[in-house]
């Protein structure tokens, strides 16, 4: 709404004086890649343990049905079967999974195996553990379940109608949660605006489909009474409480480990149900138990994004100024609230996009349906929020006869307003956004394409140009869950790191995060190298997370684009503290005048007398072994632990709060051509500009942009789940769920502006999810192509058939 107050800015401002800027920004070869190009990654399915058994599941063919009986006798007779559990067996061994929802949705009973009834197609009904994967699958296919099909609800709006089938009978309604926000004087702006523009939009259902499916190996060591869980969860600490409670074992006895993870994109936040099941089975059998999801299981039943329907209106001035937004939204969260309804509040502050919109009202409902439970897929929640505002911008521009780039330019937050506070209390940290837009338009030859569009149209060719701006709001403040459930004891967003100089002078780093290809080992090493000014190759970052060795908080993990703003900040702090200690020891050892020592290039020397120097290796040996040479009273060792805590606060009584630490900025300009006779779209040009603050490693940053673009355009053009009215998922493997290949994804040109964030010590901002900007850009371009025919797209997915119907003027 305006520039943030100096008090707020000073609270957020970070000290970055320990940076040397010698190692940041360099395209160093990623540390992870060396083992991965040699096929030596360590993924969960690569874990082989003696006496390991394998799990498989029988799953529901129905979207909603009563379980009248389960006969496991045929399955039990399959050679090699060790254990068969149904929901009833599980009920005796664990309590239901805790619900983060407010009442009455909190009454929903959620077990990892269905009890009494099934609520979505693919829901696990029974688990088999056997000597081999093959035997486990044989037995799972021979579990006989007697189902009584129940009426199904697959539409969020219908789910709220009286008499709709209830997904959870014990809840008494399909409403998971309802929140209402009103920030700024919305009514005033709507009364006094020159005009009101309206639209209805639907953000469709898809998933992240990482190439490695969910997997877990649980290994109960009876002698040590320790449960080790090798998993590929993105934030295992979030689920340790569930594991600990389910196993009735304290945290120090439950070791969760991640190593290489084959992609996540949000889907792997909710695989804890498998972690619980495999752990319980391992404890029961006293054997390691492995479960690896099949692709069909993964696409059908692991994790989808929440579908969102919004009715949006905008109060607009004739000159294109957008004053206020009012919207009513419904999230279709599927059958269980295992992660959602977080999406209806998370990132609510970006509902007004990158614009100086003065006021916002949002009436938000989250709903159960008989579909796969939803979670935070890449771009989570900000992508649909930004979709709504960006679609509106295009519509407003058309109504006013303005160029879509021009209307954005007019409304963008200006550099002089930074740091900028949104109506909802969001704090946009930095950037020159109009400049970024200008740069992207120029790089994409926007004006040239506009002229070409006209020329080609005269030849019967249909070209569309999409220009959108967006944000990867990053490093979430978890207190936002209080907006729908004030009682939840979960706030802020923190991360930990350990930086240790070992006695040989090398540096060991452990992180609280569980990366899935984001290059954390690389960028953490670069930050450590930069602060300590030691060689990148001398820094060893532990792969993945280990709750027995990593420094963690309950927020730890890799989600919400949080590593750069939170994780690297912890790394910076730990390295800076270590550097201080190294300096103190060195000054003492070298007897530097005034204790003034410089640490540089792996050495320490007295500032006043650079000849008096030592390499840090010697200092390390002293700190661990030759301790009498250390300053008297100083604690030996070179361990440095830091936990970064941003100055986040809880939402105030008006639900105003800053919900993310940094706000990357991106502009995508895309040109599509549509085959006038088949409706098939083809991308002719793709330009993505990214400002993610200080770039730690350009290879990593560009890679993330490429990936976010590929996901977004895939969602817009290829990937969409289709449920029929009976809740059958019609595309649950890669035959029909169209993950694009190298022939569909075009080459992408990436450019940058680089405005360091004042709110992180490294200046880096979170990035990589892309905020769904690619979805919006592609849809914007397709709609731009169809606009002369009066075609408007309601959905975030443009199927050639939908396009052809618009071209032909026929409705479906």
From 170, 593, 734, 788, residue interacting with another protein (rule: CB under 8 A): 734
Nearer to another protein, 504 or 677 (CB): 677
The residues pairing with 779 across neighbouring beta strands, listed in sequence order, are none
Site for another protein contains 785 (CB under 8 A): no
d(CA 268, CA 375): 9
Site for another protein contains 211 (CB under 8 A): yes
Site for another protein contains 250 (CB under 8 A): no
Residue showing tokens 């849809």: 779
Site for another protein contains 801 (CB under 8 A): yes
From 249, 488, 739, 787, residue interacting with another protein (rule: CB under 8 A): 739
Write out the DSSP string of 49-104.
-TT-EEEEEEE-SSSSEEEEEEE-HHHHTSTTEEEEEEHHHHHTT-PPPP--SPTT
Which region among 58-66, 129-137, 441-449, 495-503 touches another protein (by CB under 8 A)? 129-137
Write out the DSSP string of 401-439.
T--HHHHHHHHBPPGGG-SEE-TTS-EE----HHHHHHH
Nearest-approach distance from CB 592 to another protein, in angstroms: 41
d(CA 666, CA 690): 4
Q: What residues numbered 444-463 form the site for another protein, per CB under 8 A?
A: none
d(CA 371, CA 354): 33
Angle between helices 568-590 and 616-624 (to 10 degrees): 90
Q: What residues numbered 289-328 form the site for another protein, per CB under 8 A?
A: 292, 294-296
Which region among 137-145, 165-173, 475-483, 500-508 touches another protein (by CB under 8 A)? 137-145
Nearest-approach distance from CB 707 to another protein, in angstroms: 5
Site for another protein contains 144 (CB under 8 A): no
From 17, 653, 735, 790, residue interacting with another protein (rule: CB under 8 A): 735
Q: What is the 3-state secondary structure (H, E, C) of 356-395?
A: CCCEEEEEEEEECCCCCCEECCCCCCHHHHHHHHHHHHHH
Q: Rounded to 5 degrees, what are φ and ψ at 310?
A: -130, 140
Which region among 31-39, 90-98, 489-497, 594-602 touches another protein (by CB under 8 A)? 31-39
Which region among 32-40, 381-389, 599-607, 620-628 touches another protein (by CB under 8 A)? 32-40
Site size toward another protein (CB under 8 A) is: 77
Site for another protein contains 731 (CB under 8 A): yes
Q: Are 496 and 514 in contact (CB under 8 A)?
A: no
From 560, 707, 756, 771, residue interacting with another protein (rule: CB under 8 A): 707
From 6, 37, 223, 489, residue interacting with another protein (rule: CB under 8 A): 37
Q: What is the CA radius of gyration of the chain?
A: 27
Collect all residues with Cβ–Cβ distance below 8 Å to 144 and sequence separation of at least 6. Answer: 70, 71, 72, 74
Q: What residues numbered 507-566 form the site for another protein, per CB under 8 A?
A: 516-519
Residue showing tokens 């930990």: 496
Site for another protein contains 43 (CB under 8 A): yes
Q: Tokens standing for 539? A: 């820094």
Q: What residues numbered 674-693 form the site for another protein, per CB under 8 A?
A: 677-678, 680
d(CA 760, CA 778): 32
Which region among 62-70, 82-90, 288-296, 307-315 touches another protein (by CB under 8 A)? 288-296
Write out the DSSP string of 525-563.
HHHHHHHHT--GGGEEEPSS-BTTTS---TT-SS-TT-I
Nearer to another protein, 243 or 700 (CB): 700
Site for another protein contains 372 (CB under 8 A): no
Site for another protein contains 25 (CB under 8 A): no
From 243, 383, 700, 779, residue interacting with another protein (rule: CB under 8 A): 700
Choose among 99, 148, 115: nearest CA to 333: 99
From 89, 131, 137, 363, residue interacting with another protein (rule: CB under 8 A): 137
Q: What residues numbered 62-81 form the site for another protein, per CB under 8 A?
A: none
Site for another protein contains 730 (CB under 8 A): yes
Nearer to another protein, 39 or 250 (CB): 39
Site for another protein contains 133 (CB under 8 A): yes
d(CA 246, CA 269): 18
Nearer to another protein, 4 or 462 (CB): 462
């Amino acid at each position: 709404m305006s520039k943030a107050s100096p008090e707020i800015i000073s609270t957020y401002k970070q000290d970055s004086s320990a940076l040397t800027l010698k190692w940041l920004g360099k395209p160093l070869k990623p540390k992870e890649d060396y083992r991965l190009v040699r096929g030596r990654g360590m993924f969960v399915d690569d874990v082989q343990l003696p006496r390991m058994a394998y799990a498989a599941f029988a799953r529901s063919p129905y979207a909603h049905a009563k379980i009248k009986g389960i006969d496991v006798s045929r399955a039990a007779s399959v050679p090699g079967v060790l254990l068969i559990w149904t929901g009833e067996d599980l009920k005796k061994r664990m309590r239901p999974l805790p619900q983060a929802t407010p009442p009455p949705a909190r009454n929903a009973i959620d077990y990892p195996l269905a009890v009494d009834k099934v609520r979505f197609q693919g829901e696990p009904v029974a688990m088999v553990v056997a000597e081999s994967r093959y035997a486990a699958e044989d037995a799972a296919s021979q579990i006989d379940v007697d189902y009584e099909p129940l009426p199904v609800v697959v539409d969020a709006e219908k789910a709220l109608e009286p008499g709709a089938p209830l997904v959870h009978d014990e809840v008494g309604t399909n409403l998971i949660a309802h929140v209402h926000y009103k920030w700024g004087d919305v009514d005033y702006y709507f009364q006094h605006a020159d005009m009101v523009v309206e639209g209805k939009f639907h953000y469709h259902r898809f998933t992240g489909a990482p190439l490695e499916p969910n997997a877990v190996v649980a290994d109960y060591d009876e002698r040590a009474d320790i449960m080790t869980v090798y998993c590929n969860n993105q934030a295992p600490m979030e689920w340790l409480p569930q594991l600990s409670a389910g196993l009735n074992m304290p945290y120090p006895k439950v070791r969760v480990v991640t190593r290489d993870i084959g992609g996540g994109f949000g889907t792997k936040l909710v695989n804890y149900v498998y972690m619980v099941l495999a752990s319980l089975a391992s404890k029961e059998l006293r054997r390691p138990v492995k479960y690896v999801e099949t692709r069909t299981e993964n696409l059908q039943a692991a994790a989808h994004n929440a579908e969102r329907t919004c009715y949006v209106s905008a109060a607009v001035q004739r000159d294109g100024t957008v004053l206020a937004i009012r919207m009513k939204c419904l999230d279709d969260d599927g059958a269980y609230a295992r992660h959602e309804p977080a999406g209806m509040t998370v990132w609510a502050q970006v509902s007004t996009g990158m614009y100086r919109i003065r006021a916002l009202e949002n009436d938000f409902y989250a709903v159960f349906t008989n579909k796969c439970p939803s979670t935070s897929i890449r771009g989570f929640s900000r992508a649909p929020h930004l979709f709504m505002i960006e679609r509106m911008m295009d519509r407003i521009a058309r109504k006013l006869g303005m160029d879509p780039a021009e209307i954005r330019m007019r409304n963008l937050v200006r550099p002089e307003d930074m740091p900028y506070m949104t109506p909802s209390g969001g704090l946009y940290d930095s950037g020159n956004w109009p400049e970024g837009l200008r740069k992207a338009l120029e790089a994409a030859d926007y004006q040239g394409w506009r002229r070409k569009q006209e020329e080609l149209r005269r030849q019967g060719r249909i070209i569309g140009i999409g220009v959108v701006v967006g944000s990867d709001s990053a490093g979430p403040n978890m207190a936002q869950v209080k907006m729908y459930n004030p009682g939840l004891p979960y706030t802020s967003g923190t991360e930990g790191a350990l930086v240790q100089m070992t006695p040989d002078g090398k540096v060991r780093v452990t992180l609280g995060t569980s990366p899935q290809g984001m290059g954390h080992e690389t960028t953490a090493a670069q930050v450590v190298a930069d602060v300590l000014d030691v060689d990148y190759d001398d820094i060893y970052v532990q792969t993945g997370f280990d709750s027995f060795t990593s420094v963690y908080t309950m927020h730890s993990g890799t989600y919400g684009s949080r590593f750069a703003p939170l994780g690297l900040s912890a790394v910076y702090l730990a390295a800076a503290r270590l550097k201080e200690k190294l300096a103190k020891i060195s000054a003492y050892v070298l007897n530097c005048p005034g204790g003034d020592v410089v640490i540089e290039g792996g050495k320490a020397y007295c500032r006043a007398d650079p000849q008096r120097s030592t390499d840090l290796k010697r200092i390390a040996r002293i700190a661990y072994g030759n301790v009498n040479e250390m300053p008297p009273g100083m604690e030996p060792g070179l361990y440095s632990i830091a936990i970064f805590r941003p100055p986040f606060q809880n939402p105030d009584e008006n639900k105003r709060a800053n919900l993310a630490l940094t706000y990357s900025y991106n502009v995508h300009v895309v040109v599509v051509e549509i085959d006038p006779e088949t409706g098939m779209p083809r991308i002719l040009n793709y330009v993505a500009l990214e400002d993610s603050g200080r770039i730690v490693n350009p290879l990593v940053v560009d890679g993330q942009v490429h990936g976010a673009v590929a996901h977004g355009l895939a969602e817009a053009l290829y990937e969409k789940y289709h449920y029929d009215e009976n809740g059958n998922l019609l595309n649950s493997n890669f035959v029909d769920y169209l993950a694009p290949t190298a022939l569909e994804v075009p080459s992408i040109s990436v450019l940058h502006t680089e405005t360091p964030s004042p709110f992180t010590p490294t200046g880096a901002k979170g990035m990589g999810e892309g905020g769904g900007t690619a979805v919006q850009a592609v849809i914007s371009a397709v709609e731009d192509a169809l606009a002369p025919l009066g075609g408007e797209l309601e959905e975030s997915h443009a199927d050639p058939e939908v396009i052809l119907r618009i071209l032909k003027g026929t409705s479906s």
